[in-house]
Structure 1
Amino acid sequence: MISFAGGYPASDLFDTDGLQAAAAQAWQVSTRCLQYGPTDGLPELKTQLLALMARRGVTCTAEEMLVTTGSQQGLDLLLRILLAPGDTAVTEQPAYPATLQALRLQQANIVTVPVDGDGIDVGVLAARLDSGAIARPKLLYTVPTFANPTGATLTRERRLALLRLAVQYRFVIVEDDPYGDLRFAGAAVPSMLALASEVEGARDWVVHFSSLSKVVAPGLRVGWTIAPPEIARRCVIAKQTVDLCSTPWTQAIAARYLAAGSLERHLPRIAQAYRGKCEALCDGLRAQFGDAIAFHQPEGGMFVWARIPGVAIDALLPNAIASKVIFVPGKAFFADNADPASLRLSFAAPNVDEIREGVARLQHATHATRTTRKASAASVSA
């Protein structure tokens, strides 16, 4: 089976030597690794994460930062302290399924805004807010850089417009940024948090999540939240009731890894590998499908979002599995009005040869699906 399904980083790109060295250094203070730690994170890790954010153009304080068990925990904590049942939350559509699940668990009123190749359509959002079609939301969730699932990146102009809307309508922008360092083409765009300094009052309305899962290793379970101090304080209290603290052992490893400069040295290797994988996938789709498929080629991240017009993806999936290739049907990423012809393809985990073979298998499965549909239509007509 060749998998385009999981949002997993490539295991063969883990910097095992760098992490082993960091682990050995962390273990020199073994009792610290094995004991409880501060709820908001080990000070030495927060120091390194603050430096990392500074390199990304963001100046923040330790009081604004909370270390979490992956960025998904950061979202869970934020929703716990911010949303009451029935509160309105806006998401881009299609959106990350775990976010939709978390919002449903909080009994939020989920309102969606469409996306295009440049990310969430801020013009549509503004028109709906202005007309009252969307009542004032508590928050808006977005993955503005190399989005999951679409791979799209929100333009600088749209980011600034979204920040102005947040100030005007007083809603929190939840910026999820696990993929920003995985750029392999095009010019970098500052994060929403970095751009907030350009819009008066905007910094008070941005909560930023990031993680080492996609750029170092998901097994570390190291993420972080940057938020206005009062929101950060309430998230720390919520975290105390959830797990007391994230694992000091892996936090110490991450701190040593970052302090050694290992991430900066290793990122180019990941970006180069993902560039080749993305090109193999996109070139293969063009060669195998031609005009029968539509997709946006991303400039980074891990995902390609595609549509195969005239093909029901629910019918394609069992044929694809029979052909030993798998993907995620697009309907998993919709809160409503799912596009039945859409699918997400992840190029991160398989190697280039597997990607090329996987695309050929996908085309074979698509042909079989079309043939079956035509045969069924002919049978009904007869």
Structure 2
Amino acid sequence: MSFAIPFADRLNNVETSAIRELFKLLGKPGIISFAGGFPDSAMFDVEGIREAANAALNEEPGAALQYGATEGYLPLREQLAAFMASKGAAEVAPEQLIVTTGSQQALDLLGKTLISPGDKVIVEGPTFLATIQCFKLYGAELISAPVDGNGVRTGELERLIEQHKPKFVYLIPTFGNPSGAMLSLERRQKVLEMAVRHDTLIVEDDPYGDLYFGDAPPPSLLALSATVPGSRDRLVHCGSLSKVLSPGLRVGWMVGPADLLAKATMCKQFSDAHTSTFAQATAAQYLKAGRMPATLARVRQVYAARAEAMVQALRSELGDAIDFVPPQGGLFVWARLTGADGRVADGAELARRAIDRGVAFVPGAPFFAADPDHATLRLSFATADEDRIREGIARLAQAL
């Protein structure tokens, strides 16, 4: 008789990611994948990162290879503060942020420090799948706030805040995953105002904000908080270098009130002691070298062309069978099947058919914490070139 491992009850709240399950099907030769949520490795500034790593070893080898402060490597914290200042958040001092192992760890630290079983947390519907799983792991009851092409609908969000009095509200205001939506300036101001009015903590997750295709997006909630008295004390900002520099570095950061950062730092000590000092020193040298603006200009140009190719292909190949808002940045097209002319109207069913045609994407239902819309789907344009995108969407049309 086999031994039954006594797993923690909290694991009953989560299940295996639908996206991870889908990736098991992608070994089929010739598959064109729009399923991934990661950047194109061809966009990585390998030479710049190599030079930064060498500089870290040449200038401060002891610090780069030794244990470090849990809060983060000070030269990197200084560079990240300057990076945010260049985007309008000029009031962030290095001691007001901690470095995390990717922004995913920031979410986990928020779960550990803020969520008790049964606490209510408001998220967007749809939102980042790993956020749903992370917060559920700590026992949160997730409330879903509806989203449109301009981001979370602030009228509905305020109603939900009044009704549920959540522990906090989690938003991805700029080119969200999976929605791709960009929260308008007017709505951003309303979010900060309602944070003060209802004494509610707002978490801003911002891994995609630098990946815009035309005009820069409105300032982050962090940058705007200077214009709404009292809002900064009720705001947490999570950032990441994963989508703009390299996911492999695992460098993210969290800005927040001092008492929250102190608790998060304590919990991080139990988890990994500190984010890799070598990765932090490399990232610090990269930012110090001033290569980031040119890197961002290049990836914006490439992703913008791929996004346009996908938008045009969807319109020409699928027509009225699909509805979507063209993305202004980020990595994703979020779409909804209309079922026009009796064609497929269920994202999961289309995903199964699409695999047989040699193309993959992620159905939208798992991205909802509640009341999933089964007609939705997420398509990533980041890792396929324009010709592969056109071919993949043609295959998708055949699966309808």
Q: TM-score, normalised by structure 1?
A: 0.93
Correspondence list, 1:216-295, <5 A:
216-295=245-324
2: CA distance, partners of 1:306 / 1:227: 34
Where do 5+ consecutive residues of structure 2 fail to align?
Answer: 1-30, 340-344
Question: Residues 63-113 of structure 1, C-alpha deviation per residue, up to 9 Å, x if partnerless?
Answer: 210000000101111121111111110001001100000110010111111
| Compared CA separation, residues 128 and 236, structure 1 to 2 (3 A) | closer
Which residue of the partner structure matches residue 35 of structure 2? 5
Q: How far 1:135 sits from its partner (Å)?
A: 2.0
Provide the rounded CA distance (Å) in 2 between the counterparts of 1:242 and 1:285. Answer: 44
**Which residue of 2 is the match for residue 80 of structure 1?**
112
Q: Which residue of 2 aligns with 1:160?
A: 189
* 1:370 corresponds to: none
Q: Which moved more, 1:162-171 or 1:93-102?
A: 162-171
1:194 to 2:226 alignment: no
- Distance (Å, rounded) in 2 between the aligned partners of 1:339 and 1:265: 39
Matched, 1:47 2:81: no
- The match for 1:347 among 381, 385, 397 is 381
Task: Return the letter of the residue paired with 1:84.
Answer: S
**Secondary structure at 2:164 match in 1:** coil
Shift of 1:187: 4.2
In 1: Cα distance, 2:257 partner to 2:266 partner: 15
The equivalent residue for 2:336 is: 307
Do the aligned partners of 2:117 and 2:138 also contact (CA within 8 Å) in 1? yes
Q: Does 1:323 align with 2:357?
A: yes
Q: Report the alpha carbon displacement of residue 186 of structure 1 after superposing the two structures with TM.
A: 3.4
Is 1:56 aligned to residue 66 of structure 2?
Answer: no
Q: Contact (CA 8 Å) 2:174, 2:217: kept in 1 or not?
A: no
Per-residue CA deviation, residues 266-296 of structure 1 (Å, 9 max, x unaligned), is 1100000001000000000001011111011
Query: Does the CA contact (< 8 Å) of 1:164 and 1:199 recur in 2?
Result: yes
For 1:26, the equivalent position in structure 2 comes to: 56
CA shift, 1:202, in A, is: 0.4
Q: Output one character per residue of 1:115-160: Cα deviation in whole Å (capped at 9) or x when no partner.
A: 0000000111223444xxx221110001000011010000111111
CA RMSD for the aligned pairs? 1.0
The Cα shift of 1:241 comes to: 0.8
The whole-number CA distance in structure 1 between the counterparts of 2:210 and 2:376 is: 27
Identical residues among aligned pairs (%): 47
CA contact (8 A) 2:102 2:252 kept: yes
- The letter for the 1-side match of 2:154 is V
Residues in 2 aligned to 1:204 and 1:181: alpha-carbon distance in whole angstroms: 24
2:100 aligned to 42, 47, 68, which one? 68
Q: Which runs of 4+ in 1 moved over 6 A?
A: none
The amino acid across from 1:212 in the alignment is: L
* Deviation of 1:313 (Å): 1.7
Deviation at 1:32, TM superposition (A): 2.5
Partner Cα separation in structure 2 for residue 137 and residue 228 of structure 1: 18
CA deviations 1:48-75 (Å, max 9, x no partner) are 0010011011121222100000001011
Write the distance in 1 (CA, Å) between the matches of 2:184 and 2:158. 16
Query: For each residue in 1:312-342, what CA deviation from the matched residue of structure 2 results, as whole angstroms up to 9, or x when unmatched?
Result: 2222112111111100000110112111111
Mapped partners of 1:208, 1:269: distance in 2 = 26
- In 2, the alpha carbon distance for the partners of 1:203 and 1:277 equals 36
Q: Which residue of 2 aligns with 1:119?
A: 151
Give unmatched runs, 5+ long, in structure 1: 367-382
Counterpart-to-counterpart distance in 2, 1:312 and 1:125: 27
Asked if 1:95 is matched to 2:127, the reply is: yes
Task: Tell me, yes or no, if structure 1 residue 356 matches structure 2 residue 387.
Answer: no
Tell me the TM-score normalised to structure 2 length: 0.89
- Residue correspondences, number: 363
The amino acid that maps onto 1:270 is V
Quote the offset at 1:350 in angstroms: 0.9
1:337 paired to 2:367 = no
Q: Structure 1 residue aligned with 2:140, among 100, 108, 132?
A: 108
Match of 1:36 among 60, 67, 72: 67
